[in-house]
C-alpha cells in the first residue's frame, strides 16, 4: 500500500464513524429543536423560538394521561420481569440441571420472534379466552418479553463470578439466608439493576406488541401514533426530550454507582 493510502485510511475510517454518529443523532436534534418551536398542531415547519411548550407541556390531559399510563405499565411489568428473569438467570448460572437447554431456548425464542407475531399471537389468545384488552393485558405482554431480556442480561453479567465466596460465608457459619443477603445479593445486584433499567426502557417505548393488546387504553407511543395524522404539538417533543434526559441521567448515574461500588474490594 502506498504511503498516502496508509495515512489516509485511518482518517477515512474516523470520518466514516463521525458521519455514522451524525446520522444517529440527526433525528434527535430535530426532536429537541422542535420542542422549542413556536407552533401549535403541525409542528413540522420551523416557526420561531418559543418556550411555550416547555412551560405548558402538562396542559394536554390526554398526553399526561398516556405518559402516566406508560410509566405505570413499565413499573409493574419491570417489577414482574426483573424478579422472574433474575431467578431464571440465577438458576442457569448457578446450577446444572436437566432442562437448562430447553430453558435457554425458551428465553431466546421471544427475542428472535418478530414483534408482530408476538403481538398478534397474544391477541389471538385473548380473543379465544374472551379476555377484554386493557391495562392488564398490556402489563402481561410487556412482562413476557421483558422476562427474556432480563434473564439474558443478568445471565451475561453474573457469569464467571467467584461463587466460592458463598461457600466461604457458609463455612464461617452464615445461614443460607444470611449468605444470600450479605454475599450473593450484593454480588448480583448491579446486573439486576441494569436489566431492570433495560426492561423499563423497552416497556415504556414498546409500540407494536402494545398496539395489538391495548384495547381502549392509550400508552405514550399509542398516543403519538393516533395523533400523528392530525398533527402533534411541540409538547410531545418536550416529553420525548424529557424521556431522553431522564434515561441519560439514569445511565450516567448507574455507571457512577458501579465505579463507586467497584472501588473498595476486589470485584
Partner 1 sequence: MPTRPAGTHRGTHRGTQRADDTGGADGSGPSPRGRRSTPYLLISPGLVVLGLLFVVPLGSLLVTSLKTGSFAEGFETAVRLRNYSDALSESWEPIKRSFVFALVATVAAGAIGYPLAYVIAFRGGRYKNVLLGLVVLPFFTSFLMRTLAWKTILSDSGSITSAFDRLHLLSLFEFLHLVPDGSDRLLQTNVSVIGGLTYNFLPFMVLPIYVSLEKIDRRLVEAARDLYSGAFRAFRTVVLPLSIPGVMAGSLLTFIPAAGDFVNAELLGGPQQTMVGNRIQSRFFEQVDYPAAASLSFVLMALILIGVLLYARLLGTEELTG
Q: Within positions 104 to 133, which residues make up the interface with partner 1, using CB under 8 A?
A: 104-118, 120-125, 127-128
Q: Which CB atom, from 71 or from 243, has the smaller least distance to partner 1?
A: 243
Sign, Cα dihedral of 116, 117, 120, 126: negative
- Count the residues of the shown chain that bind partner 1, applying the rule CB under 8 A: 104
| Least Cβ distance, residue 28 to partner 1 (angstroms) | 5
Footprint of partner 1 on 134-153 (CB under 8 A): 140-141, 143-144, 147-149, 151-153
Binding-site member from 16, 59, 253, 262 for partner 1 (CB under 8 A):
16
**Torsion angle, CA of 174/178/183/185, rounded to 10 degrees?**
160
91 binds partner 1 (CB under 8 A): yes
168 interacts with partner 1 by CB under 8 A: no
174 contributes a contact to partner 1 by CB under 8 A: no
- Build a one-symbol-per-residue string for 225-254: x at contacts with partner 1 by CB under 8 A, - elsewhere: x--x---x---xx--xx-xx--xx--x---
3-class DSSP assignment, residue 123: helix
CA–CA separation, 199 and 204 (whole Å)? 9
Closest separation in Å from C-beta 243 to partner 1: 6
**Dihedral of CA 262/83/156/74: which sign?**
negative
List Cα–Cα distances, 58 to 48, 54, 63, 224, in angstroms.
Answer: 21, 9, 8, 15
- Determine the Cα–Cα distance for residues 183 and 162; give it in Å rounded to an integer: 11
Binding of partner 1 by 28 (CB under 8 A): yes
Give the contact letters, 46-75, x = binds to partner 1 (CB under 8 A), - = no: ------------------------------
Q: In the numeric block, which cell numbers belong to residue 112?
A: 428472535
Among positions 100, 182, 253, 258, the unique one binding partner 1 when judged by CB under 8 A: 100
Q: Is 143 left (phi over 0), alpha (psi -120 to 50) or beta?
A: alpha
CA 19 vs CA 9, 10, 15, 23, 25: distances in Å = 15, 14, 6, 6, 10
Q: How far is the CB of 59 from partner 1 (least distance, A)?
A: 19
Which residues between 175 and 234 bind partner 1 (CB under 8 A)? 176, 198, 201, 205, 207-208, 211-212, 220-221, 224-225, 228, 232
What is d(CA 143, CA 44) in angstroms, rounded to the nearest whole number?
35
How many CB atoms within 10 Å of residue 31?
15
Closer CB to partner 1, 17 or 257, in the complex = 17
Amino acid at each position: 500500500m502506498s504511503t498516502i493510502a496508509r495515512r489516509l485510511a485511518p482518517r477515512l475510517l474516523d470520518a466514516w464513524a463521525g458521519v455514522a454518529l451524525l446520522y444517529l443523532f440527526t433525528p434527535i436534534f430535530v426532536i429537541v429543536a422542535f420542542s422549542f418551536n413556536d407552533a401549535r398542531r403541525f409542528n413540522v415547519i420551523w416557526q420561531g423560538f418559543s418556550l411555550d411548550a416547555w412551560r405548558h407541556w402538562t396542559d394536554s390531559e390526554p398526553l399526561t394521561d398516556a405518559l402516566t399510563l406508560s410509566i405505570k405499565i413499565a413499573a409493574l411489568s419491570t417489577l414482574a420481569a426483573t424478579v422472574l428473569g433474575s431467578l431464571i438467570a440465577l438458576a442457569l448460572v448457578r446450577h446444572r440441571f436437566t432442562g437448562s437447554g430447553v430453558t435457554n431456548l425458551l428465553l431466546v425464542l421471544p427475542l428472535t420472534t418478530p414483534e408482530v407475531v408476538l403481538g398478534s399471537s397474544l391477541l389471538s389468545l385473548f380473543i379465544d379466552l374472551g379476555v377484554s384488552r386493557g391495562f392488564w393485558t398490556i402489563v402481561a405482554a410487556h412482562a413476557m418479553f421483558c422476562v427474556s431480556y432480563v434473564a439474558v442480561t443478568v445471565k451475561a453479567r453474573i457469569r464467571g463470578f467467584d461463587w466460592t465466596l458463598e461457600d466461604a460465608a457458609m463455612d464461617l457459619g452464615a445461614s443460607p439466608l444470611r449468605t444470600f443477603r450479605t454475599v450473593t445479593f450484593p454480588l448480583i445486584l448491579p446486573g439486576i439493576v441494569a436489566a431492570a433499567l433495560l426492561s423499563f426502557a423497552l416497556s415504556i417505548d414498546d409500540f407494536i406488541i402494545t398496539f395489538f393488546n391495548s384495547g381502549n387504553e392509550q400508552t405514550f407511543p399509542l398516543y403519538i401514533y393516533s395523533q400523528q395524522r392530525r398533527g402533534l404539538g411541540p409538547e410531545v417533543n418536550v416529553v420525548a426530550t424529557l424521556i431522553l434526559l431522564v434515561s441519560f441521567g439514569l445511565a450516567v448515574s448507574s455507571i457512577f454507582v458501579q465505579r463507586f461500588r467497584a472501588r473498595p474490594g476486589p470485584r
